Structures are given as C-alpha cells and as structure tokens.
C-alpha cells in the first residue's frame, strides 16, 4: 500500500469485538484485537466472559454480569460507534437475549440516526479448538433472537449441526443445513469447513457461503451459494474462527462489500496459518501478516447452484504490448477518427441491441482495426466478434455464464472482463483472461452501476494483489484531472468514455490524455 496516503489514526475505522477472553492468547478477544489492529482498524472490546484456557484445555468459564455487558455496549456507543461488530463467545442464553435486544433497539436507533448500516458478524462459538465446551452450561443455546439482526453467521461443522439440530453427513447436507440456517436467522451464512466435518479435505479448507442478500453488490451474486476453497497450510489452527470473523468485520468496516470481506478474510487466515507458530502442547496461534497481497492465499470460488458455471482450464490470448489509454466509443465515425488520430486500442460499445446496422458496424470496426493495425475490442456481441474475427471481446461478469468462452479462446480472440470487487476479480482471474478491467473507480454518468465507486484506496489494493498476473485497466470517471493519481497506483492502463467522446475535438482529447498518461509517474 505504499502508493496511497497513509490513513491517519483518527480515521481508522472502529470495529468492536464482543467476545470472551482466552487466557492462552490464541483465540477470543486477544485474537480479535490482534486481527483488527493488523488490518488497520481501531479495535474496541466488549468482554462477555473470562475463560481459564490454555492451548489444550478450558478449565473455567465465567461470564461478566449483565450490568457490565450492557455498560460496555452503551459506553462505547456514545463515544466510539462501530463501523462493524464481531460477536464471539456468548456464555449463556441471558447474554444472547441481552445482546440481541440491544442490537434491535440501540444499534438500530444508531443506524437510523447516522444513516449507516453497521455490519454485524456472529461467530457462534461453542467449542474451543482443544475440544472443550465454552458455554457456561451444557444446555443448547438458542440463537433465534438474532433473527434479522446480523449480517453474517460463521458456524463450523459442529456449530452448524447444533444450530439446525441435525447431524451432517456429507457436503450436500452441509449445504442444505447452511441454507436452512440462512432462512432461520434471515441472514447470510459462511459455513466453515476447515475443521473436522463433512467439508473436510486434507488438501483444502472448503467453506460454503450462502448469500441471501448483500448491499452494494451485483444482483448476480445474491441469492446464491458458493464454495470457497483455500489451500490447507498447517494444523496450527488455534483462534482460526475468531480471526476469520474479526477479519471479515474489519474488512467490511474498511468499506468493502460482504463478498470481498469474506475472500480477503479467508486469505488473511490462510496466510496466518501458513506462518503460524507453536507455543506449547496444543495447536499454535495464527501469525499476523497484515492485509493479504499474495494471490495464492485467496480462495477459488465455484458456484453450488444449478445452472451454468465457469469453465476451468481455459486460457486467453496474452496481449504482448501495453493497452495504453483505451477509448470506449459507441459510434463508428468516432472509432474511425480515433484510429486515424493514432489510437492503438479501442472498444466499440453499442448498447442498442436492436440497432438495424449492428452487424455492419461491428464488421466495419473490426476491418478498420486491421487497416490501422490496432486492437479493436467488441463489447457484448461475442458471436459477431467471432464471426468477423475481431482482435478481442470485452465481457461483463454476467456474460461469462452465457458466452461460449471455450470457442472464444480457441479462436484466439483476446478477452477483457469487467470487475467491480475482489470477488469479481477472483472470478475473472479463474478463467485467465487477456486483461481485467477494474471499475468504476470514480463516479460516472455513462452507465448506472449497482456498486459504489471503488476509489483509489480499493484500486490500490486490487493492483497490489493482481499486478503482474494480468494487465489491469482502470475505468470509470477518469479524465485529465485524475490521470496522475490513477497512474500512481501502478495500474497498467486506463479506459475512458466521456473525457474523449464528449469533447468538442475527440481526436485531440485522445492525444492529450494519452500523452498525459504516458508521461505520468508511477511511484515506487
């Protein structure tokens, strides 16, 4: 993150951990604080329970008084309101009832007054990694008071079984149970598969993500289930669940959507396990490795729903040279004039699919590209691009499930894919495209976007992770005034609509922007 301004500590997002203390330091509040601080958040704590715990045993569990629980919540809300909350160990039913009432009344009132929506991540802790129970009595806890009040619940196999009152024998039962829990609590579910259970595999930690709804996220990723599979790194797993849930809360507090928070948190846990250490007899705690920047730590995403899925094992044409400043235009005369002005990469983006001259225009644009030895990409109409042998096609994420990707790859057409989040970047990268577009960086009026503008901070994170793996193209609201700051992130290329098309002299505008882009500095 060397290219963006450092966040002043006053601006660090506040995240709360409502959880128990693990005297052994590997899990609970200790792990949450370490995670939240490591991910550049300010961590506040609401301690629910003290546990006398080591890496091999839990010897005593003692909840704080009801007054103390409420006093911590109310005190913090007055002065240090959260951007996100992680809830861990609740030792008895009374604590569940008190906290759920507080969320329904006080937090809801805070959300309404501040016009925000604080993300609440519930890790329904029941058993420590050494196998001992952490709740005060052996009676089953009822989490239903949390219905409609939480953003995500993150049970492991054992907890999921207890929450839905079933034993889970295989992956399909695991998925059904996660869907049942999503309905029961009216929430999103991340059913973890890292520990023993039906999702366990020796070489991979597989989690099931059931997304019922998520804000500022494309419709196509909602109401769906995904399998998130990460490489398994070591058996030091003490505090894995606490770390995962507090990492999800921290990433959401930093402004990322739920899907992104989950994949970043999984990468954080994967890196933490890889670099973990043993302290004593039992499994060791996770290392703190800061914001994940290593692509191999991120999960592979696959769909668990019926219907089309992304193909595996295909690879698209590699683009040898830079795309540079890449204009995106909707009419042919403008495309011709920009090629004449010297554009070497350009896209034809016609959004009226009933345009009677659609095929003619596409065929003509492709032919012009050949004449000028330029890379002409056709947006959306991949069949026409194939028929007329275009240099390349640009597709959106939703197109990936309908287009014949195998045919496009076999015909040696280049493929560019849009992305609007870490989650979509990972999906795009799984089919090894020729480039990935990252948008929309700044507000745009060119099209209606379901996601919020990404901004430079997120762009920097995406570049840090994907640079060198694929050419990365920034798009959305980029004009002469923003060329310098965009270039400083290290992104490879920029795509531009209005700053060229709405100019009185598009050819001259293209040349000026292109030369500004080439001359702008990438900071080291």
Ligand X SMILES: Cc1nc(C(=O)O)sc1CCOP(=O)(O)O
Ligand Y SMILES: Cc1ncc(COP(=O)(O)OP(=O)(O)O)c(N)n1
Give the C-alpha separation, 244 to 35, whole Å: 9
**Reduced 3-state DSSP string for 420-475:** CCHHHHHHHHCCCCCEEEECCCCCCCCCCCCCCCCHHHHHHHHHHHHCCCCCEEEE
Query: Do β-strands 14-22 and 84-87 pair in parallel, antiparallel, or remain unpaired?
Result: parallel
Question: Binding to ligand Y by residue 347, rule CB under 6 A?
Answer: yes
440 binds, among ligand X, Mg ion, ligand Y, none (CB under 5 to 8 A by kind): ligand X
Decide: is 496 part of the binding site for ligand X (CB under 6 A): yes
Binding residue numbers for Mg(2+): 380, 399
503 binds ligand X (CB under 6 A): no
Cβ pair 346, 335 in contact under 8 A: yes
Q: How far is the CB of 213 from Mg ion (least distance, A)?
A: 24
Counting every residue written for the chain, the total comes to 524
Question: Is residue 237 a contact residue for ligand Y (CB under 6 A)?
Answer: no
Cβ–Cβ contacts within 10 Å for residue 371, how many?
A: 9
Which is closer to ligand Y, CB of 427 or CB of 437?
437
Select 436 or 456, whichever has its Cβ closest to Mg ion.
436
How many angstroms separate the Cα of 26 from the Cα of each of 18, 33, 286, 312, 444? 16, 11, 8, 38, 46
Task: Give 119's strand partners.
Answer: 84
Can residue 482 be called a binding residue for ligand X (CB under 6 A)? no
**Long-range CB contacts (within 8 A, 24+) of 43-46:** 43/15, 43/16, 43/17, 44/14, 44/15, 44/16, 44/17, 44/76, 44/80, 44/82, 45/16, 45/17, 45/18, 45/19, 45/72, 46/16, 46/17, 46/18, 46/19, 46/72, 46/73, 46/76
Binding map of ligand Y across residues 421-450, x = CB under 6 A, - = no contact: ----------------x-x-------x---
Tell me the per-residue interface mask from 483 to 502 with ligand Y, x by CB under 6 A, - otherwise: ------------x-------
**Structure-block tokens of residue 2:** 């060397």
The strand pairing partners of 86, in sequence order, are 17, 121
Distance of CA 126 to the CA centre of its chain: 27
498 binds, among ligand Y, ligand X, Mg ion, none (CB under 5 to 8 A by kind): ligand X
Q: Out of 81, 231, 396, 453, name the contact with ligand Y by CB under 6 A.
A: 396
Instruction: Pick out the residues of the known binding site.
Output: 347-351, 379-380, 399, 418, 444-447, 477
- Ramachandran class of 384: left when φ > 0, alpha when ψ lies in -120 to 50, beta otherwise: alpha
Tokens linked to 222:
């909602």
Residue 266 or 394 with smaller CB distance to Mg ion: 394
- Helix or strand (DSSP H, E) at 33: helix 28-38
Shortest Å distance, C-beta 419 to ligand X: 8
Q: Catalog residues that contact Mg ion under the rule CB under 5 A.
A: 379-380, 396
- H or E stretch including 59? strand 58-63
Q: Does the footprint of ligand Y cover residue 418 (CB under 6 A)?
A: yes
Which part of the chain contacts ligand X (CB under 6 A), choosing from 92-100, 118-126, 235-243, 432-440? 432-440
Report the residue from 196, 340, 447, 469 that binds ligand X according to the rule CB under 6 A.
447
Q: Which strands form 152-153's sheet, in the order they lie side by side?
A: 58-63, 42-53, 14-22, 84-87, 119-122, 152-153, 188-191, 204-211, 224-231, 300-303
Binds ligand X by CB under 6 A, chosen from 128, 217, 227, 497: 497
Rounded Cα distance, 393 and 371, in Å? 18
- Provide, rounded to whole angstroms, the least separation between the CB of residue 160 and ligand X: 36
Which residues, including other chains, have CB under 8 Å from residue 112's CB and lie 6 or more apart? none
**By C-beta, is 15 or 438 nearer to ligand Y?**
438
- Residues 307-366 close enough to bind ligand X by CB under 6 A: 328
Residue nearest to ligand X according to CB distances in the complex: 439
Q: Considering beta carbons, is residue 141 or 475 the nearer one to ligand Y?
A: 475
Pick from ligand Y, ligand X, Mg ion, none: which does 347 bind, CB < 5 to 8 A by kind?
ligand Y
What is the nearest approach in angstroms of ligand X to the Cβ of residue 446?
3
Quick check: 444 binds ligand X (CB under 6 A)? yes
- From Mg ion, ligand X, ligand Y, none, interface partner of 473 (C-beta below 5 to 8 A by class): ligand Y
Count interface residues toward ligand Y (CB under 6 A). Answer: 16
* Residue 246 interacts with ligand X (CB under 6 A): yes or no: no
Nearest distance from C-beta of residue 439 to ligand X, angstroms: 2
From the list 69-77, 265-273, 299-307, 474-482, the region that binds ligand X by CB under 6 A is: 474-482
Report in angstroms how near the CB of residue 396 gets to ligand Y at its nearest.
3
Q: Indicate the residue whose CB is closest to ligand Y.
A: 396
Taking residue 54's Cβ as centre, other Cβ atoms within 10 Å add up to 20
Give the integer Cα–Cα distance in Å for 239 and 173: 26
Q: Are 278 and 232 a contacting pair, CB within 8 Å? A: no
The CB-of-395 to ligand Y minimum distance in angstroms stands at 6
Beta strands in 171-238 (DSSP E): 188-191, 204-211, 224-231
Binding string, 372-391, against ligand Y, x = CB under 6 A?
Answer: -------xx-----------
Residues engaged in binding ligand X (CB under 6 A): 328, 418, 420, 437, 439-440, 444, 446-447, 475-478, 496-498
Chain positions contacting ligand Y, by CB under 6 A = 328, 347, 349, 379-380, 394-396, 416, 418, 437, 439, 447, 473, 475, 495
């Amino acid at each position: 993150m060397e290219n963006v301004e450092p966040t002043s500590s006053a601006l660090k997002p506040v995240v709360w951990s409502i959880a128990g203390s693990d005297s052994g330091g590997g899990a609970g509040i200790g792990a949450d604080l370490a995670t939240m601080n490591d991910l550049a958040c300010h961590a506040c704590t609401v301690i629910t329970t003290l546990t006398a715990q080591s890496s091999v045993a839990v010897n005593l569990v003692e909840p704080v008084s009801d007054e103390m629980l409420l006093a911590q919540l109310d005190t913090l809300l007055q002065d240090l309101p959260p951007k996100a909350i992680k809830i861990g160990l609740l030792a008895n039913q009374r604590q569940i009832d008190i906290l759920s009432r507080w969320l329904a009344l006080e937090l809801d009132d805070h959300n309404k007054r501040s016009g925000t929506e604080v993300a609440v991540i519930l890790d329904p802790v029941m058993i420590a990694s050494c196998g001992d129970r952490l709740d005060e009595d052996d009676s089953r806890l009822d989490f239903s008071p949390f219905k409609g009040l939480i953003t995500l619940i993150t049970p492991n196999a054992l907890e999921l079984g207890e929450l839905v009152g079933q034993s889970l024998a295989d992956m399909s039962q695991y998925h059904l149970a996660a869907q049942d829990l999503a309905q029961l609590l009216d929430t999103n579910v991340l059913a973890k598969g890292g520990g023993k259970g039906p999702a366990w595999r020796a070489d991979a930690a597989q989690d099931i993500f059931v997304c019922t709804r998520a804000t500022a996220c494309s419709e196509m990723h909602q109401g769906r289930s995904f399998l998130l599979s990460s490489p398994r790194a070591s058996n030091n797993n003490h505090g894995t669940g606490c770390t995962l849930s507090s990492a999800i809360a921290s990433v959401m507090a930093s402004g990322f959507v739920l899907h992104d928070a989950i994949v970043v948190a999984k990468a954080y846990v994967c890196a933490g396990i890889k670099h973990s250490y043993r302290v004593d007899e039992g499994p060791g705690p996770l290392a703190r490795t800061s914001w994940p920047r290593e692509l191999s730590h991120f999960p592979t995403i696959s769909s668990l729903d019926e219907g089309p899925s992304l193909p595996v094992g295909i690879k698209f044409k590699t683009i040898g040279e830079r795309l540079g400043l890449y204009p995106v235009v909707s009419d042919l005369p403008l495309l011709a004039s920009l090629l004449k002005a010297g554009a070497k990469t350009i896209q034809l983006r016609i959004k009226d699919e009933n345009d009677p001259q659609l095929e003619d225009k596409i065929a003509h644009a492709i032919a012009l590209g050949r004449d000028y030895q330029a890379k002409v990409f056709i947006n959306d109409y991949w069949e026409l691009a194939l028929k007329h042998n275009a240099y390349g096609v640009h597709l959106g994420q939703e197109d990936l499930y309908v287009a014949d990707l195998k045919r496009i790859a076999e015909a040696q057409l280049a493929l560019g894919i849009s992305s609007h989040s870490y989650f979509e970047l990972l999906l795009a990268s799984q089919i090894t495209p020729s480039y990935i577009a990252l948008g929309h960086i700044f507000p745009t009026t060119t099209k209606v976007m379901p996601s919020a503008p990404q901004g430079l901070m997120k762009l920097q994170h995406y570049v840090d992770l994907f640079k060198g793996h694929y050419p990365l193209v920034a798009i959305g609201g980029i004009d002469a005034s923003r060329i310098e700051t965009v270039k400083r992130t290290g992104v490879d290329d920029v795509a531009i609509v209005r700053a060229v098309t709405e100019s009185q002299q598009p050819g001259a505008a293209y040349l000026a922007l292109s030369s500004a882009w080439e001359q702008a500095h990438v900071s080291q």
